[in-house]
Amino acid sequence: MARANFLVHWTGGDIAADYSALCSSDRSRYVDRLADILISGFWMARPQEPLAGRNRRGGGGQVSFTYEADMTCFSEIRLSQCSQHACMYGLLGVGVDRAYVLERWGSPVHYVRNHRDDGVVGSFAAARNLIAACARRGNGDAAAALAHVNYLGTFMKGMSQANTDDFLFLEEQEWRVVVTQEQIDVGRINETGLGLPRYRLILPPAELRLVVFPDACTRQLALQDPRVQKSLGSGGSLPLLTLEECRQF
């Protein structure tokens, strides 16, 4: 099956996650969220994701590492199958082309088992610890290598909750853009100077490909909002869909 060209950032889980029970306040907050993204860019959140694996150096017990990096996440899930994902992460979807993510050094995540008997995470953690030990002994090359290893680690994601095989996250088909100084330098990521978010992934109007709204009332409210009109106008040829409409694809 051909891969979808659209990657969608889903947001609003902190607002409301049931599109059949939205109130006017929820809809207004969703419009505010969309306007904020169109004006200032995507939030780059800083999730803490501990990953478990087999300790390759210590007799076979469990080893884990946790990365903390500012990132924006997208999903490759087709719109016709997005309802369950939206109910987990938020009912507003903002879509871009895959090229937008790739040009910002984004990539699909590397799904790992996230289990005490997982060799992939165990090997990564062992290599990271060995390089870190060399860096602590004053090896400048090791210190530089550790920075690269830490960056690569931010693209690993557990396919299941720790020490289970429930495959809860595998079907999310996640892509990520992670903060790098290079992308800041070329103006694709903005350092805000704030506590939250520390960074924004800029979304030029020409890069926007579609918007999925929680429902038709939220879409109408957004099209009447001057902040949104500046980027969307009356909608034009840009797909402005609702979650219910997506189910018909």
pTM as predicted: 0.91
Mean pLDDT of the chain: 91
Taking residue 12's Cβ as centre, other Cβ atoms within 10 Å add up to 21
d(CA 175, CA 179): 14
Comparing 1-5, 20-24, 197-201, which segment has the lowest mean pLDDT?
1-5
Task: Please list, residue by residue across 75-87, b when 16 or more beta carbons sit within 10 angstroms of its beta carbon and e when fewer do.
Answer: bbbebeebeebbb
User: Taking residues 16-44, what's their average pLDDT?
Assistant: 95
99: left (phi > 0), else alpha (psi -120 to 50), else beta? alpha
Range scoring the smallest mean pLDDT among 36-45, 46-55, 134-143? 46-55
What whole-number distance in Å separates Cα of residue 153 and Cα of residue 169? 17
